[in-house]
Amino acid sequence: MTAHWLVKSEPGCFSIDDLAASEHGATCWSGVRNYQARNFMRQMQQGDTVLFYHSVTNPAVVGLARVVREAYPDHTAFDPADQHYDPKSSPEKPLWDMVDIQWLETFPRPLPLPLLRQVRGLEEMELLKKGSRLSVMPVSAAAFQRIMELAHQA
DNA sequence: GCCAACGTTGGC
DNA sequence: GCCAACGTTGGC
């Protein structure tokens, strides 16, 4: 059974265009330094679909990707020069994981956060909950369906 | 730019 | 184990 997820990224840092422009449209989703988000990534399976969300600037769900490699150690945590360096993680005892995701599509029209807040049936989405700061979260099959419909409405 | 909400750290 | 202080996220 395919599961559905949502990942957040600041477009100024890494946008869906950056993903699409990556080699094979794929990238490692590194830099996650939150246990809850990490644990969700560990549950991701190859082929799971991933909604791509732009945070901060024009917050919106902007496209779709899929998991092409399941969780493995995030090597950026080992590099003292990396922005996401974490001395508590080492190649011998990795603390943080990442997955690889691949671009599938950029929606013909992005779905802005204020719009999503108005959609009946999405009220329970983690994304829409007050104070939600999770950067990786599960999405129910129903919510996923609804969002895909909205994204492709004429 | 402001600030609310949240997670983490560290003193005790 | 508690909790205050701090840093970060992210909407507005």
The fraction of chain A above a pLDDT of 70, given in percent, is: 99
The fraction of chain A above a pLDDT of 90, given in percent, is: 84
The whole-number Å distance from A40's CA to C11's C1' is: 24
Q: Is residue A57 part of a domain?
A: yes
> What residue is closest to C10 (Cα–C1')?
A56
The tally of CA atoms less than 13 A away on the side-chain side of residue A102 is 12
A10 CB closer than 7 A to any strand C atom: yes
Q: Is residue A129 part of a domain?
A: yes
Residue A112's pLDDT band (boundaries 50, 70, 90)? very high
The nucleotide whose C1' lies nearest the CA of A8 is C10
- pLDDT reported for residue A44: 97
Q: Is residue A135 part of a domain?
A: yes
d(CA A25, CA A38): 22
Q: What is the mean pLDDT of residues A80-100?
A: 90
Pick the closest to residue A99 from A132, A136, A62, A147 (CA basis): A136
What total number of domains does chain A contain? 1
Residue pLDDT, tens place only, A43-65: 999 999 999 999 998 999 999 99
Residue A154's pLDDT band (boundaries 50, 70, 90)? low
Bases on strand B under 7 Å from any protein CB: 4-9
Q: Is residue A76 part of a domain?
A: yes
> What residue is closest to B5 (Cα–C1')?
A131
Q: Is residue A153 part of a domain?
A: no
For residue A104, the enclosing domain spans 4-139
**CATH at A73:** 3.10.590.10
Residue A72's pLDDT band (boundaries 50, 70, 90)? very high
Q: Is residue A144 part of a domain?
A: no
Q: What is the mean pLDDT of residues A9-17?
A: 94
The nucleotide whose C1' lies nearest the CA of A10 is C10
Q: What is the mean pLDDT of residues A89-104?
A: 93
Torsion from C-alpha of A126, A128, A130, A134, nearest 10 degrees: 50
Of A residues 27-86, those with CB within 7 angstroms of nucleic strand C are 55-56, 59
Q: Is residue A152 part of a domain?
A: no
- pLDDT reported for residue A90: 87
- pLDDT reported for residue A9: 96
d(CA A30, CA A135): 12
Q: What is the mean pLDDT of residues A68-83?
A: 92
Q: Is residue A34 part of a domain?
A: yes
